[in-house]
Amino acid sequence: MPLNDRKIVTIILEQCDGIEERCDGYKEEIIEVVSDILEFERGHRVSATNIQKKINEKCNAAARFLATRRSQSTGTEEMNS
């Protein structure tokens, strides 16, 4: 429940256009990560949560997605998360 949720979401979405599409669906994945992080932040402001852990995991998941996609395209991904 942020003060101006809609506004920030709109601006963030626009900024996502500027990032590199590192693999197929990467941008979409990152948008999801950023939206979730903001959601975590909002929740964290209302009642303290282990936000660092949540964000680490979120980034980790996106990285796994990226690494997997890359390995699929090159066949060298090492599945050792």
Partner 1 sequence: MKLLRAEFQNFRMLRDLQLEFSIDPNTNLTVIRAANESGKTTILHGLQWALYGDAALPDKGEGFRLHPIDWDEREGNRVPIIATVEFELTTYRRTSGEVRETRRRYRLVRSAFEEVDGGTRRFDSTVKLFALNETGASPIDAPEALINDELPPELREVFFTDGDRALSFIEADVALSTKRERVQRAIRSLLGLGVVDGAIKHVRKSAAEVNKKAKQVGGSDQLNSIATRLEAMENNREKLETDLEDAKQQFSAFDEKVDEVDREIAAALQKGDKVKLRKDLENARAEISQLDSQLAAANKEHSALFRGRSIATGLLTPVLVGAFNTLEELHNQGKIPNTTIPVLYDRLEAKVCICGETLVPGNPDGDNRRAHIQKLIDDNQRADEIQEIITDLYYSTKSLQGGRGAETSAWQEEFKKVVERRDGIQTLRDEAGRKLRALEMQLDSLPDTDIQGLRETRRRYKDLRDRYLSKQSSIGTQLTGLSREREVLEVERDRLLREQKRGARILAELEVTQDVMKILKSAYQRITNEELRKVSELMNSVFLEMIGADPEQGSMIQRAEISHEFDIIVYGPNDRTLNPDRDLNGASRRALTLAFILALTKVSEVEAPNVIDTPLGMTSGFVKHSILRTAVRESTQLILFLTHDEIAGCEEIIDESAGLVFTLTNPVHYPKMLVNDPGVSERRVVRCECDHRSDCQLCLRYEDVQFEL
Residue 56 touches partner 1, criterion: CB under 8 A: yes
Token pair of 52 as six digits: 């660092």
Angle between helices 26-46 and 5-16 (to 10 degrees): 150
Nearest to 68 by CA among 60, 79, 52: 79
Least distance to partner 1 from the beta carbon of 27, Å? 9
Q: Which residues contribute to the site for partner 1 (CB under 8 A)?
A: 1-9, 11-12, 14-16, 18-20, 22, 30, 33-35, 37-42, 44-47, 51-52, 55-56, 59-60, 62-64, 66-67, 70-71, 76-78, 80-81
